[in-house]
Amino acid sequence: MTTSASPSAGSERPCRFIIIGAGMSGILAAIELRKAGFHDFTIYERADRLGGTWRDNTYPGLACDVPSHLYCYSFAPNPDWSHRFASGAEIQSYFEAVARRFGIDRLIRYGKEVRRCTFADGRWKIELADGSGDAGDFVIAATGVLRDPAYPDIPGLETFAGPTLHTARWDHGVATAGRRIGVIGTGSSAIQVVSALVHEVSELALFQRTPQWIMAQDNPAYTPVEQAEFRTQPEKMAALRADISRAFADGFSNAVIDADSPQLQAIHDACVANLETSVRDPELRERLRPSYRAGCKRLIMSADFYEAIQRPNARLVTAAITGIEPAGVRTQDGRLHPLDVLVLATGYQVDRFVRPIEVVGRNGVALDEVWKDGPFAYLAISVPAFPNFFMLNGPNGPVGNFSLIEVAELQIGYILQLVEHVRRGAYREVSAAPAAMERFAADRREAARTTIWQSGCRSWYLDPGGVPIAWPWTFDRFREEMRAPQLADYERR
């Protein structure tokens, strides 16, 4: 049911918010709530520090593949980025500094894992793992996408006698220098780990199931002169950010949603040239050559992976893994690869989103049941029957080919417009209308047919049915959608 009640002049109802997660999106949500005049909120974070994926990921070689001056909040530019592409540690320090600057760090309750959210009597009741609880009018789920590690289903994995490290849970107490290292996986984290470790280990075996296209990426340092100019002339930094954003969208982000675009062909040609000119051994070159087009999987940026995998102490293993034994990895050709340390660069459970939190909406509807065939959300923000429950970087959003900070900033601005109607008393509850959700899902599936993600490879961009889960349109369209909510697409009560 949709109401058309008008707010009474001068009357504003108090609103309390629960923010789940103190990573990039959670910090952003808190800052923007304060800017909008909302001060009654609590941030619950299950870990003991803020930072999200940049807190959890500390593996050797970790860096962001989005340019530094774009991968930061628009309202908190950083003149002191050291390189064009920042390291993970530098990004983590940036978020910590922003949280201190805006006083958000004092509002985070650490070690507080949210287990259940239940909508009852017009409010959200929150249950925490320690038995405590809370309640609010709105929930903002800033739980992230790259959060819960995915572990491979390999027979004998638990029997390996040496340390086993997932890249998302790196143990810096484990020595790697001078040891035999095995890396399973060929995504971004694997490529970064290989490039970082190969110079110090005695042997490195990279177990490749599927080769990846590698785009050459230089990472020059910003000079002290450039950093000083950014500090004294912030308009230069703003102009650089705008230029990067436009170039990133036109040259890459918008290209992948059109499999026939000339920009995408140029990307593919550049990746082919990188492989052809960088790998000397023709047999190794062919084993590293993917059978699909560049962009079908997440494109990997690296300046030195091809050099790393050609070092005398590095081996590319393409025989399928049949099992793991105490001494190492056994492959289909019968060979045992002896190892001292096993690295799992096997990614994340990208379909989790707010789960494993149990979320129960209107009339007892469980989110797990609604999402039994896969997660979805209207404009990546709202799910029908879950009023006043909003996600940042939720399902079906621009992930993988956009800066998630830009995405989250646009989303929180959109969400606050919906919240403003509630504050002014127009209605008390708002959630995506079922018809709008169905239309969006159908349009998304149709548009996804022309994207590069559906051109003949398997990747984490695809749902179990082979349909891309991500936003299949341009970033300009996303900006336009986020400009203002179409209230007819929402159920308001």
Q: Measure the CA–CA gap between 330 and 341, rounded to whole angstroms.
A: 14
Q: What is the pLDDT of residues 79-127, one digit of tens each?
A: 999 999 999 999 999 999 999 999 999 999 999 999 999 999 999 999 9
3-state secondary structure of 292: coil
Q: In this model, does residue 5 exceed pLDDT 50?
A: no
- Whether residue 236 contacts residue 230, with contact meaning beta carbons closer than 8 Å, is answered with yes
pLDDT at 460 (0 to 100): 81
Fill in the amino acid letter for 56: D
Rounded mean pLDDT, 321-343: 98
Q: In this model, does residue 2 exceed pLDDT 50?
A: no
Fill in the amino acid letter for 86: A
User: Higher pLDDT residue, 191 or 351?
Assistant: 191
Q: Which CATH architecture has domain 17-148+349-492?
A: 3-Layer(bba) Sandwich (3.50)
Fill in the amino acid letter for 65: D
pLDDT at 257 (0 to 100): 85
Strands 133-136 and 123-128: antiparallel
- Whether residue 427 contacts residue 435, with contact meaning beta carbons closer than 8 Å, is answered with no
Q: In this model, does residue 382 exceed pLDDT 80?
A: yes
Rounded mean pLDDT, 374-396: 96
Q: Measure the CA–CA gap between 8 and 146, rounded to whole angstroms.
A: 43
Tell me which of 70-84, 233-247, 348-362, 447-461 is least confident.
447-461
pLDDT at 417 (0 to 100): 97
How many residues are given for the chain? Answer: 493
pLDDT at 316 (0 to 100): 98
Q: What is the pLDDT of residues 258-309, one digit of tens each?
A: 888 999 999 999 999 999 999 999 999 999 999 999 999 989 999 999 999 9
pLDDT at 87 (0 to 100): 96
Q: In this model, does residue 249 exceed pLDDT 90?
A: no
Computed over every residue of the chain, the mean pLDDT equals: 94
Q: Where in the chain is the domain with CATH 3.50.50.60?
A: 17-148+349-492, 157-213+257-344
Rounded mean pLDDT, 227-239: 94
Q: How would residue 462 be classed by pLDDT, with cut points 50, 70 and 90?
A: confident
pLDDT at 79 (0 to 100): 97
Q: What is the pLDDT of residues 63-84, one digit of tens each?
A: 999 999 999 999 999 999 999 9
pLDDT at 425 (0 to 100): 92
How big is the chain by its Cα radius of gyration, in Å?
Answer: 23
pLDDT at 11 (0 to 100): 65
DSSP annotation of 295 reads T
Fill in the amino acid letter for 77: P
CA atoms within 13 A on the CB side of 251: 9
- Whether residue 345 contacts residue 183, with contact meaning beta carbons closer than 8 Å, is answered with yes
Q: How would residue 4 be classed by pLDDT, with cut points 50, 70 and 90?
A: very low
- Whether residue 202 contacts residue 175, with contact meaning beta carbons closer than 8 Å, is answered with no
Rounded mean pLDDT, 429-451: 95
pLDDT at 463 (0 to 100): 84
Rounded mean pLDDT, 29-50: 97
Q: How would residue 419 be classed by pLDDT, with cut points 50, 70 and 90?
A: very high
Q: How would residue 401 be classed by pLDDT, with cut points 50, 70 and 90?
A: low
Check whether the bond before 356 is cis (ω within 30° of 0): yes
Q: What would the two tokens of residue 91 be?
A: 């990004």
Q: What is the pLDDT of residues 180-192, one digit of tens each?
A: 999 999 999 999 9
pLDDT at 21 (0 to 100): 97
Q: What would the two tokens of residue 392 be?
A: 């940042």
Q: Measure the CA–CA gap between 96 and 280, rounded to whole angstroms.
A: 44
CATH of domain 157-213+257-344: 3.50.50.60
Q: What per-residue string of b and e applies to 203-215 under the rule 16 or more CB within 10 Å gives b?
A: bbbbbbeebbbbb
Q: What is the pLDDT of residues 187-230, one digit of tens each?
A: 999 999 999 999 999 999 999 999 999 999 999 999 999 999 99
- Alpha helices by DSSP H, listed for 249-310, are 262-278, 282-287, 305-309
- Whether residue 81 contacts residue 57, with contact meaning beta carbons closer than 8 Å, is answered with no
pTM over 0.85: yes
Q: What is the pLDDT of residues 142-171, one digit of tens each?
A: 998 888 899 999 999 999 999 999 999 999
Q: What would the two tokens of residue 312 be?
A: 């005398």
Q: How would residue 477 be classed by pLDDT, with cut points 50, 70 and 90?
A: very high
Percent of the chain with pLDDT over 90: 84
